Amino acid sequence: MSETDRRTAILLIHCPDRRGIVAAISRFLSEHGGNIVDLDQHVDTEQGVFFLRAEWELRGFALPADGIAEAFRRELAEPFDMTWRLHFSDERPRMAIFASRLAHCLYDLLARWQTGELAVDIPLIISNHDELRPVAKRFGIDFYHLPVTPETKAKVERQQNDLLADYRIDFAVLARYMQILSADFIQAWPERIINIHHSFLPAFAGARPYHAAHERGVKIIGATSHYVTEDLDAGPIIEQDVTRVTHRDSVADLVRKGRDLEQLVLARAVWLHVQRKTLVYRNRTVVFD
Amino acid sequence: MSETDRRTAILLIHCPDRRGIVAAISRFLSEHGGNIVDLDQHVDTEQGVFFLRAEWELRGFALPADGIAEAFRRELAEPFDMTWRLHFSDERPRMAIFASRLAHCLYDLLARWQTGELAVDIPLIISNHDELRPVAKRFGIDFYHLPVTPETKAKVERQQNDLLADYRIDFAVLARYMQILSADFIQAWPERIINIHHSFLPAFAGARPYHAAHERGVKIIGATSHYVTEDLDAGPIIEQDVTRVTHRDSVADLVRKGRDLEQLVLARAVWLHVQRKTLVYRNRTVVFD
Amino acid sequence: MSETDRRTAILLIHCPDRRGIVAAISRFLSEHGGNIVDLDQHVDTEQGVFFLRAEWELRGFALPADGIAEAFRRELAEPFDMTWRLHFSDERPRMAIFASRLAHCLYDLLARWQTGELAVDIPLIISNHDELRPVAKRFGIDFYHLPVTPETKAKVERQQNDLLADYRIDFAVLARYMQILSADFIQAWPERIINIHHSFLPAFAGARPYHAAHERGVKIIGATSHYVTEDLDAGPIIEQDVTRVTHRDSVADLVRKGRDLEQLVLARAVWLHVQRKTLVYRNRTVVFD
Amino acid sequence: MSETDRRTAILLIHCPDRRGIVAAISRFLSEHGGNIVDLDQHVDTEQGVFFLRAEWELRGFALPADGIAEAFRRELAEPFDMTWRLHFSDERPRMAIFASRLAHCLYDLLARWQTGELAVDIPLIISNHDELRPVAKRFGIDFYHLPVTPETKAKVERQQNDLLADYRIDFAVLARYMQILSADFIQAWPERIINIHHSFLPAFAGARPYHAAHERGVKIIGATSHYVTEDLDAGPIIEQDVTRVTHRDSVADLVRKGRDLEQLVLARAVWLHVQRKTLVYRNRTVVFD
């Protein structure tokens, strides 16, 4: 089967819950001859909201790819008051990486990109330090060193925005980027900036979480990947994971053990985002996994 | 809302996969005014089999509870060649427990029954030893001591079968029951006997798994709950869990750490079974959780 | 070997770190012919503190059991400025349980006591509600219903203290006891009250942690057992554990999944305490496990 | 403090257990003025074997580094019949990587080497395929493509051995190298070849473990890193880890989820080996972590 033949369409929706939504959507797909590859739905009964992710093959589907959106809007989205996105499996999002001095998350993302696990293009790395330039060079990616000071921050963010535009970036990953982005910057990229925080949020938000965890004497540490919002470390959580520690572990041990968590959790979150498996509603994610 | 009002119907099906199944089922439910509480489906693309669990409220459903089966058979099950079961949430299955000398799984199941977590009746405990009689008495449950020897085994199994019939038992749980049931006995109770094995199957099947795990020097031990089939420790797995061990752990430590796994994994498996969330197909389970 | 023969002594110490401590302690034990069963030490290099747990057989030990403390004080504790405790394996601490309405942790502790896993006596259960009286009765344990209101709180705590004294209680376990103890009460029982909090502390301290976790949209929930101090939910952590949740889990699901964590984490913490494996230093625990 | 000042000596021993070993070793270290950084011991009471790892600062130690071995042999190793190794923290072992077509473990090890997490030199990569040459080139490492067929296997192993000698390799890591080494080759490198097997051993040893795990319907998959011995997949286990899977996971999903386990478990095992924290006794490891 050729690549074209395997192309799928992916629909992500949420709408007020009511009877008959699944029936209507599945009828829409089956009447046009869609072979459903994956169908996952969820009802938040407390909030009365219906969520759905559907993926179906374009081969044999009666509607042309560029006609689906219009038909869906008319037949389903408007009658059911849906918020929705339509994607195609052969889109290849363009991803930028922001980093500082720590290389582990950067290396991990680049390796997953090289092995084909992450179906993205990575044309751009931005850093407020110059240390990771050799890593970018090693993988043939453009690297921009944009140091940030309180005075230059606004100007640097404009440069960053220009770069994201120039490189036609779809979403950005903060791979242990140790700068806080401004509200303006964040608002321009809603649900399109993914961060990794080195704690089990909401515990130990803010700076130096491993020191704080050590001080508190916790027996488990974690890492959290989330979409960035204006509230620091408080955006919708995509993925978390943890590992055990003991009184024997110094802060340096927590840092070492935490690195594995950070790169793993960030990689999973980016993968879920790229696979169009995440949906945000009122600061929480629905992860169709 | 009264208990009657909250009654739900639960449908578990599998059938050859083809287009339009979800549409047909969801139309069946929505056309009769069914408010879907939970809908979960899975397609095994490799085997071409479709699986579904649907749960909907009976209140407001146009068909009477005792008319659903017939309507479903005619409109859906026969046209789509479905294998299916229909349950109602107010059924309260009757569960028997088989035990030997170890009390922890027995205590755990009885506590979950008493606190209402397990919506079952437990009228009967059978054991090949007499040690656990006081536990049964403490919870007011009939206890039968049926010792098993190679000579008496066939006779004892007839007694066990009679007891299960007399007490109108729906399914049995082997809570560390250290006897191997005969093929005849097992065949009479397909997917209705749940066992806990004290290893991460398929590793360390058979006797003395903690000794074998210690001897092999594994760094993680586990427990496995499965439906009992004629092949020893080889039935469809419902649930598994693991915990870390080190070179410091003696066999006695593995036994102690393993107890927590055993009772937890068994309890989860029984809960899934009672909630009608398990479906067996070709020696594997689909667990709609 | 008789029980007497297997008796062991357990020493828990901490002191300012300096060269030669291990040599001095191990020489003390070996010169008196002690057969070391377990020896575990830890140096907190940051704080410059040495910690040690040693367990050795009394059989063949040159000093009589009641002479060890004096010899140890003279030869080691005073020269090295040690804070220390000496225990014997045949001590059987007397444990009280405080509970409210939820039965799962109570049942779990009682089962572990009955099966011999917890080497304690449990003569006393205190509750601010009467619902769990039948559970206490089932296990033959005295049960006191002491309702608490803001007005009666001080008086009730005096009654509780009298009961703990009358029953010669060594330590108390708060098994989902939903009352906050006063600073006076807590100060009278330093490192002798063990609580289970139904969150991954320090996240979601205080009331309704499952609601807060659901609201925040975390992907993992936890439970934490700690020694009670005057700062609410901020005492030294003995044990924690976690489990994954998804957007599908309602608050009720978190409560259900959390129950297993709570009883398991609490049971492990109590076991560690009873085995004399915990040592508190500056609001953190050293757990010799 | 200069690098020289922080140099430590590491001693790994095992010997028949008897009273006074800890006292003798700690006296040896304290009498020569050694500041112990880490001391970890274990007694296998069943086998009557004593294990110890000690790490102490060379600064201020009365014996010169090159005189420690001789003094230790005379004063302790011979009297106590010890099997032992002495290492120094500034040794930098030379590590070769064997790989085939899969890049994830290779990338992961190289990233950990680049970031300084693994204190090794990696001068050599050997593969039976040519696909990973660009990865080696990217990191500036010599790459040898040595295809293996049944006919050429013996000859290729001689070439491999020559390369390991030429590059003065201390130990080798099989990073998903899909060839079985001969008994001769393995015997020449005892406890110096580390493999990653993509299952939770001893379950699913041999070929295609993910297919076997899927077929068996397990709810958890794992990965195992072990020292290579002549018995395939049966050498002493250094590290294992697991992750949950469901009926929704195809074989391809298991492969994807398993990759993260493989690289993480292998990296931990290599780190433990490099840190001199592993000791093998009768096909099991003692891991001083």
> If pLDDT is split at 50, 70 and 90, which confidence band does D1 have?
very low
b/e burial code for range C68-82 (CB count within 10 A of at least 16 → b): bbeebeebbbeebeb
Tens digits of residue pLDDT in B36-66:
889 999 999 889 999 999 999 999 999 999 9
> If pLDDT is split at 50, 70 and 90, which confidence band does A1 have?
very low
Residue C192's closest CA among C98, C118, C129, C55?
C98
Partners for A (CB, 8 Å, 3+ pairs)?
Answer: B, C, D
> Hey, what are C245's tokens?
């949740």
Indicate the Cα dihedral angle B3, B4, B6, B11, nearest 10°. Answer: 130
Which sequence positions of C are flagged as catalytic?
233
Measured between beta carbons, the chain B residues lying within 8 angstroms of D217 are 236-237, 283-285
Q: What is the pLDDT of residue C67?
A: 96
State whether residue C39 sits within 8 Å of chain D by CB. yes
pLDDT at D51 over 70: yes
Q: What is the pLDDT of residue A5?
A: 66
B34 phi and psi angles, rounded to 5 deg: -80, 130
Across all residues in chain C, what is the average pLDDT? 96
Q: Using CB atoms, which residue from C42, C217, C283 is nearest to A284?
A: C217
What mean pLDDT comes out for the span B20-49?
Answer: 92
State whether residue B107 sits within 8 Å of chain C by CB. yes
Measured between beta carbons, the chain B residues lying within 8 angstroms of C112 are 104
**CB pair distance less than 8 Å for C242 and A250:** no
**CB pair distance less than 8 Å for C22 and D22:** yes
**CB pair distance less than 8 Å for C39 and D41:** yes
CATH superfamily of B94-287: Formyl transferase, N-terminal domain (3.40.50.170)
Which sequence positions of B are flagged as catalytic?
233
Report which secondary-structure segment, H or E, holds D105: helix D104-114
Q: Parallel, antiparallel, or unpaired: how do β-strands C278-281 and C237-244 relate?
A: unpaired
Closest-CA distance of chain C to residue D35, Å = 6
State whether residue C43 sits within 8 Å of chain D by CB. yes
pLDDT at B2 over 90: no
CATH number listed for the domain at residues C4-88: 3.30.70.260
**CB pair distance less than 8 Å for C22 and D34:** no
Interface mutation target, options D39, D110, D260, chain A, most CBs of A under 10 Å: D260
State whether residue C62 sits within 8 Å of chain D by CB. no
Q: Quick count: other Cβ atoms within 10 Å of Cβ A92?
A: 11
Closest-CA distance of chain C to residue A97, Å = 24
Q: Are D277 and D259 in contact (CB under 8 A)?
A: no
Rounded Cα gap, residues A199 and A206, in angstroms: 9
pLDDT at C287 over 90: yes
What mean pLDDT comes out for the span C108-126?
Answer: 98
Tens digits of residue pLDDT in A41-97:
999 988 999 999 999 999 999 999 999 999 999 999 999 999 999 999 999 999 999
Q: What is the pLDDT of residue B5?
A: 66
State whether residue D42 sits within 8 Å of chain B by CB. yes
Closest alpha carbon within chain C to B264: C260
In DSSP terms, which residues pair with C237 in a beta bridge? Answer: C226
Closest alpha carbon within chain A to C199: A203
Alpha carbon separation from A266 to A95, A188, A189, A288 (Å, rounded) = 14, 22, 18, 17
Report which secondary-structure segment, H or E, holds B260: helix B251-274
State whether residue B163 sits within 8 Å of chain A by CB. no
Measured between beta carbons, the chain A residues lying within 8 angstroms of C42 are 247-248
Q: Are D107 and A114 in contact (CB under 8 A)?
A: yes
What mean pLDDT comes out for the span D258-280?
Answer: 98
Q: What is the pLDDT of residue D3?
A: 52
**CB pair distance less than 8 Å for D139 and A139:** no
The CATH 3.40.50.170 domain(s) of chain B lie at 94-287
pLDDT at A208 over 80: yes
Closest alpha carbon within chain B to C113: B104
Question: What percent of chain D shows pLDDT beyond 70?
Answer: 98
Q: What is the pLDDT of residue B6?
A: 84
pLDDT at A4 over 60: no
Q: What is the pLDDT of residue C87?
A: 97
The CATH 3.30.70.260 domain(s) of chain D lie at 4-88
Across all residues in chain D, what is the average pLDDT? 96
**CB pair distance less than 8 Å for C117 and B256:** yes
**CB pair distance less than 8 Å for B43 and A36:** yes
Measured between beta carbons, the chain B residues lying within 8 angstroms of C40 are none
Rounded Cα gap, residues C172 and C127, in angstroms: 12
Measured between beta carbons, the chain C residues lying within 8 angstroms of A250 are 45-46
Residue B219's closest CA among C240, D224, C287, D14?
D224
b/e burial code for range B53-63 (CB count within 10 A of at least 16 → b): bbbbbbeebeb
Tens digits of residue pLDDT in B113-166:
999 999 999 999 999 999 999 999 999 999 999 999 999 999 999 999 999 999
Q: Which of B67-71, C3-7, C284-288 has the lowest mean pLDDT?
A: C3-7
Residues within 8 A of C (CB atoms), A 190-219 only: 200-204, 216-219
Q: What is the pLDDT of residue D5?
A: 66
Closest-CA distance of chain D to residue C121, Å = 30
Tens digits of residue pLDDT in C171-190:
999 999 999 999 999 999 99
Q: What is the pLDDT of residue D4?
A: 54
CATH of A8-88, one of 3.30.70.260, 3.40.50.300, 3.40.50.720, 3.40.50.800: 3.30.70.260
Give me the catalytic one of D38, D233, D249, D289.
D233
Q: Are D108 and D271 in contact (CB under 8 A)?
A: no
> What single string gives the DSSP state of each residue in A213-270?
HHHHT-SEEEEEEEE--SSTT-SPEEEEEEEE--TT--HHHHHHHHHHHHHHHHHHHH
Q: Using CB atoms, which residue from D203, D246, D284 is nearest to B203?
A: D203
Interface mutation target, options B6, B29, B30, B42, chain A, most CBs of A under 10 Å: B30
Measured between beta carbons, the chain D residues lying within 8 angstroms of A266 are none
Report which secondary-structure segment, H or E, holds D186: helix D183-187
Rounded Cα gap, residues A131 and A101, in angstroms: 6
pLDDT at B220 over 70: yes
Measured between beta carbons, the chain A residues lying within 8 angstroms of B45 are 37
Which sequence positions of A are flagged as catalytic?
233
Measured between beta carbons, the chain D residues lying within 8 angstroms of C37 are 43, 45
Residues within 8 A of D (CB atoms), C 219-258 only: 244
Q: What is the pLDDT of residue C1?
A: 44
Across all residues in chain A, what is the average pLDDT? 96
**CB pair distance less than 8 Å for A240 and C220:** yes
Q: What is the pLDDT of residue D13?
A: 98
Closest alpha carbon within chain D to B218: D237
The CATH 3.30.70.260 domain(s) of chain A lie at 8-88
Tens digits of residue pLDDT in A5-24:
689 999 999 999 998 999 99
What angle do the packed helices B251-274 and B104-114 form, to 10 degrees?
A: 30
pLDDT at A226 over 70: yes
Measured between beta carbons, the chain D residues lying within 8 angstroms of C244 are 244
What angle do the packed helices D21-31 and C21-31 form, to 10 degrees?
A: 140
Question: What percent of chain D shows pLDDT beyond 90?
Answer: 95
Instruction: Say which residue, A84 or C19, is predicted with more confidence.
Output: A84
pLDDT at A211 over 60: yes
Q: Are B126 and B47 in contact (CB under 8 A)?
A: no
State whether residue D147 sits within 8 Å of chain B by CB. no
